[in-house]
Amino acid sequence: MGFTKYTTQSEKERVRMNEAIRAKEVRVIGAAGENIGVLPLAEALAKAREAGLDLIEVSAQANPPVCRITDYGKFKYELKKKEKEVRARAAKVTETKEAQVKIGTSEHDMQIKAAKIGEWLDEGHRVKIDLFLWGRYKYMEFEFLKERLQRFLAIVPKSYKIADEIKKSPKGLSVVIERDTAKKTAPKLPKTESAPEPETV
């Protein structure tokens, strides 16, 4: 069985294998994952040929470069799988989670929701929080409702920053927060003498 040949120019630029490897000597990892050691390139190529496999450079920056004896088709499959996992993790990090709170919900339930939001922030997610309004609450003053939402934000146990300010939404009021990499504490609510009795949000 001969060495695998490149099928595209992009493959040739992306992965060095077999005769395309430039180093005079390489550290060789065998087909079973064993460390064969540092060998002259010609000897490493001979071992790969004997096994009916390819010699693929997997760490060009190492000194000497690290090469693996393996099947190129299998190597390409594993490479694509890793890239897919990396893209999936990146997509997950930028995901926007959603949480909903209501006026009159118990303190205990609010603490549970706030803790979950804290977990999402730790994972790197943005969180959109809706203050759901129904009935007469839809017609209350914006500043009063904004304060109710701020009271909930104040119990979120992780540091965050406002990504999208509190504003009216189809459900009532909404705000988007994200993890604060500067690790600033959550903003405290101003004390006002004329504020109505606190309500649980």
Is 80 exceeded by the pLDDT of residue 158?
A: yes
Domains and CATH numbers, the chain: 9-87 (3.10.20.80), 94-179 (3.30.110.10)
> What rounded mean pLDDT belongs to the chain?
84
Cβ count within 10 A of residue 50: 9
Q: Give Rg (Cα) of the chain.
A: 29
Which residue is it, tokens 């500067």?
A: 182
pLDDT of residue 14: 73
48 φ/ψ sector (left φ>0, alpha ψ -120 to 50, else beta): alpha
Report residue 157 as tokens: 């146990």
What tens digit of pLDDT does each residue of 93-106 get?
568 999 999 988 88
pLDDT of residue 12: 59
